[in-house]
Amino acid sequence: MGNKVLMKGNEAIAEAAIRSGCRHYLGYPITPQTELAAYMAKRMPKIGGVFLQAESEIAAINMVYGVAATGRRVMTSSSSPGISLKQEGISYIAGSDLPCLIVNVQRGGPGLGGIQPSQSDYFQATKGGGHGDYHLIVVAPSSVQEMAQLTGLAFDLAEKYRMPAMLLADGTVGQMMEPVELPEEKDVEFTEKDWAVTGTKMQRPHHIVNSLYLVPDELERKNFERFERYRRIQETEARYESFLMDDAEICVVAFGIAARVSKNAVLAARAEGLKVGMIRPITLWPFPSQALKEAADRVKGFVSVELSMGQMIDDIKLAISCRKPVELVNRAGGMIMSPDEVLAGIRKMNGGDNQ
Amino acid sequence: MTTGILIAGFGGQGILFAGKFLANMGMLEGRHLSWLPSYGPEMRGGTANCSVVLSDDPIGSPIVNHPDVLVAMNLPSLDKYEDEVVSGGTIFVDSSLIGRKVKRTDVRVIYIPATQLAHENGIATLANMIIVGKMMKECDFLPYDGIEQAVRTVVSAKHADLFDVNMKAIGIGYQYQ
């Protein structure tokens, strides 16, 4: 592995994508992810790749659909309002069982909202987002290092399971700079996929990429097959970081920038003698339900810390079958909670109100 | 040890650049660090601020809510952040742009007429680096060695001609009594 370099989170995603063999970037500018597109615009032409600024987000995602059908690594990126525009295309890509990477550097909503960081696209990212029954693999980086690392992971998982992956970041992690160790360059040699449409050369039967199935039992079978695959993913691919959980009586759950803020609060709470730990989901889908379920046997309660009106908290309650109380600490609209606000939530869960 | 630094002022004063320099100093030292800009719709004349955290341990929040070191390069920034500085912290004030004194009595305050010094020395846009020079002198978390390399990194190859003036600005701040 090479040396550490100082980079913005958005740039780290772009460089990591290139090193993971991505040579096709199709997007449309929007704050706060623009550095990613700008980086691609600069680099792609120099390495024989494609950077294309489409006429709209909708056009960009449909171009992604096209490239994905050829089996090449392809990505797009946007921020919340732009991701909403892409939902139809994402549903088609999921319905056609194609891999690709979609980056959402979230900002406050709904509507045009604002440009400050947010995590309020959690539902949209983890529950499907577009129409029909489907999931995306969703990874949630909380550092610039993870912006790079999880980009590669998202590409690999998307390809392995033939489904779209989303990297769900936020404006803070996108804009901040931290030292990052970039992944090694991956061999970009194209390997023939047994589903990709690359031309038959009159030597093999056609591969067909399609999401239209007018015969109901055929479409049902497709859905059943897809969900069988999802079940395997839920069993094997959930990732999380466990922080000071060994003797914890209170479990903070947070991802992305909220987890960074919460880490300070957990350490402050420990300094006060409170037994607090944190489970930080790294994949939001599959959600690390098993880890939370096991934690529920030991802790007296959970604190969900989110930059939204409370979305992940539903998945926590499902994971633990509502066996323990879950306290919400949240800010919205581009505001970020302070460690003191998280600490107050921890104290409240602990039953004392010595704030 | 963890040091949270907040640099605040108008857009165009080189707030983010000063932060980048400190981040690069941290890089050279092999320390943990984070750099976080405000990225609102601000532009020249608007407000800008930048959080830098330097630490011996992995960094939790990159947002500096309660700075150990505050650099205030205009009055609105001092008004906004003075009360947030930790007790025993340090406030650097550009006294050529801020007419009032710091009210807190539990912090160390360093007044330096950075903007005026910059004008007098023909480097009008580098008040930011004059304050950085003063920080080098006053704060033990930043060693003076390695400055050249950090400046070289942060001005980038494209603007290599700016190396000398940045070094000059840092020198002026470092020597200011």
Task: Tell me the pLDDT of chain A averaged across its residues.
Answer: 96
For residues A1 and B82, the model is more confident at B82
In terms of domains, do A123 and A12 share one? yes
Provide the CATH number for the domain around residue A174. Answer: 3.40.50.970
pLDDT of residue A39: 98
Q: What is the pTM of this model?
A: 0.95
In terms of domains, do A231 and A312 share one? no
Say if residues A169 and A140 touch (Cβ distance below 8 Å). yes
How far, in Å, CA of A51 to CA of A74, rounded? 10
Considering A211, A236, A261, which residue would you say is the last residue of a domain? A236
Closest alpha carbon to A345 in A260, A274, A246, A255: A274
A176 touches chain B (CB under 8 A): yes
Residue A355 counted as domain residue = no
Question: pLDDT by residue (tens digit) across B123-162?
Answer: 999 999 999 999 999 998 777 777 888 898 888 777 888 9
Which pair of tokens denotes residue B146?
């390695």
The predicted complex's ipTM stands at: 0.93
Size of interface A-B (CB pairs under 8 A): 57
How far, in Å, CA of A276 to CA of A293, rounded? 17
In terms of domains, do A279 and A139 share one? no
In terms of domains, do A179 and A34 share one? yes
Provide the terminal-to-terminal Cα distance of chain A, rounded to the nearest Å. 46
How far, in Å, CA of A166 to CA of A283, rounded? 10
Domain of residue A129: give its range: 4-199+224-236
A309 touches chain B (CB under 8 A): no
The beta-carbon contacts of A199-203 under 8 Å, at least 24 apart in sequence, are none
pLDDT of residue B42: 57
> CB count, 10 Å around CB of A200?
10
**Where do the structural domains in chain B lie, given as residue ranges?**
2-175
Closest alpha carbon to A306 in A296, A316, A318, A293: A316
Say if residues B79 and B15 touch (Cβ distance below 8 Å). no
In terms of domains, do A253 and A288 share one? yes
For residues A309 and B157, the model is more confident at A309
Which residue of chain B comes nearest to A263, CA vs CA? B60
In terms of domains, do A154 and A231 share one? yes
Which residue of chain B comes nearest to A257, CA vs CA? B61
In terms of domains, do A228 and A260 share one? no
How far, in Å, CA of A223 to CA of A285, rounded? 18
Per CB-CB distance under 8 Å, the chain B contacts of A12 are none
At residue A52, what are phi and psi to the nearest 5 degrees? -135, 120
In terms of domains, do A181 and A105 share one? yes
Q: Given an 8 Å threshold on Cβ–Cβ distance, is B20 in contact with A177?
A: yes
| 3 state SS of A118 | coil
Residue B24 Cα distances to A10, A55, A150, B150, angstroms: 18, 38, 25, 6
Find the mean pLDDT for residues A150-155. Answer: 98
Question: pLDDT by residue (tens digit) across B73-115?
Answer: 999 999 999 999 999 999 999 999 999 999 999 999 999 999 9
Find the mean pLDDT for residues A91-112. Answer: 98
Q: Which of A118, A147, A177 to mutate to test the interface with B (most CBs of B within 10 A)?
A: A177
Provide the CATH number for the domain around residue A292. Answer: 3.40.50.920
Nearest-CB residue to A260 (from B35, B37, B61): B61
Nearest-CB residue to B60 (from A116, A179, A260): A260
In terms of domains, do A23 and A168 share one? yes
A112 touches chain B (CB under 8 A): no
Nearest-CB residue to A339 (from B24, B34, B61): B61
Say if residues A281 and A305 touch (Cβ distance below 8 Å). no
How many domains does chain A fold into?
2
| Side-chain half-sphere exposure of A353, counting CA atoms within 13 A | 0
Which residue of chain A comes nearest to B19, CA vs CA? A177
Check pLDDT > 80 for residue A245: yes
In terms of domains, do A230 and A249 share one? no
Q: Given an 8 Å threshold on Cβ–Cβ distance, is A338 in contact with B37?
A: no
pLDDT of residue A352: 63
In terms of domains, do A98 and A228 share one? yes
B61 touches chain A (CB under 8 A): yes
At residue B154, what are phi and psi to the nearest 5 degrees? -80, -25
Say if residues B167 and B148 touch (Cβ distance below 8 Å). yes
* pLDDT more than 70, % of chain A: 97
Residue A138 counted as domain residue = yes
* Min distance A45 CA to chain B CA atoms (Å): 20
* pLDDT more than 90, % of chain B: 77
- Tell me if the domain spanning B2-175 has CATH number 3.40.920.10: yes
Q: Given an 8 Å threshold on Cβ–Cβ distance, is B35 in contact with A260?
A: no
In terms of domains, do A61 and A164 share one? yes
